[in-house]
Amino acid sequence: MLEKTYRDADHGLGSGDLPISTVIPLFNEEKIVAQNLESLAQFYDQLVGHGNWLFILVDNGSTDRTPELVKAAMNRWPPSRTVYHPEPNYGAALRVGLLAATTKWVFMHDVEQWDLPFMEWAWAARHNYDMLMGSKRADPTINEQKAHRRLLSAGLNGALQVIFQFSGSDTHGPKLLNRDSLDSLIQICRLDRGQFDTELVLRAIRAGKRVAEAPIEYRETRPHRNLMIKKIVWNLLALRRLQLAMRDVPFEAYVRYHRFTREDVLAKSRYLVPDAREQLRV
């Protein structure tokens, strides 16, 4: 656990307002959802104080016990709530979750992958940026992707850099968003699945929003649900859809993209590594 609870003065808590919500898409996660939400809840309790945050859990067509476990989570951590999306679609689930959020600050990440040092750093730096995002590609020393998945990620990011003049190394990592600043962009994003957050990042950059990128530790904890060849074909089609969505979106200002190192993230972190989720730095 963190060594102290943040006081209201530390995070600018307004009168009666919750400072943060966390959007997590879920699809058939009965094996991990209860334990992982418990770990995350302990982190948020220490980050902003018990009762000052909420989960927005988006069940997108689960066929196992996930809906039952989500209902239990709602009772366990009020005022958390659930949003239902009828079919498995990660990007669509993120979008409906973000649109359901009412707090100014919103984290979005997977239920099986997160990085506590990054999340703590992002929260501390939130007033300086509109979007803070973690990149698994920014530091190869903490990226444990298999070689073929690194190749796919590098190829996709290279295409984004060439076709869309993207300044960063990844668009799919966890993010902390200033919803007040980004809500209009969230509402006009048209893509889904793996390209929703890519479209949001590109729109934010072109709108002149303040974007920060920092490395996260990445480990593959379970087999991927889609075959590699299927992923490649889908990404090629998705890039074409992304071209159509972005073709009339101009750069409205200078690019305000800031990149940080893992050393920056860990400088004031109380965590040794994300996997030691309750282990303090010494």
Please report, for the chain, the start and end positions of each structural domain, with discontinuous segments joined by +: 8-266
Residues of the chain with pLDDT under 50: 1-16, 272-282
- Under 8 Å CB-to-CB from 93, ≥6 apart: which residues? 25, 26, 27, 58, 60, 83, 85
pLDDT at 192: 93
pLDDT at 186: 98
In CATH, which of 3.30.70.100, 3.30.70.3270, 3.90.550.10, 3.40.50.2000 is domain 8-266? 3.90.550.10
- The chain-wide mean pLDDT, for the chain, equals 88
Among candidate residues 192, 198, 219, 45, the one with its CA nearest the CA of residue 131? 198
pLDDT at 269: 80
Among candidate residues 42, 41, 37, the one with its CA nearest the CA of residue 66? 37
- Under 8 Å CB-to-CB from 241, ≥6 apart: which residues? 191, 195
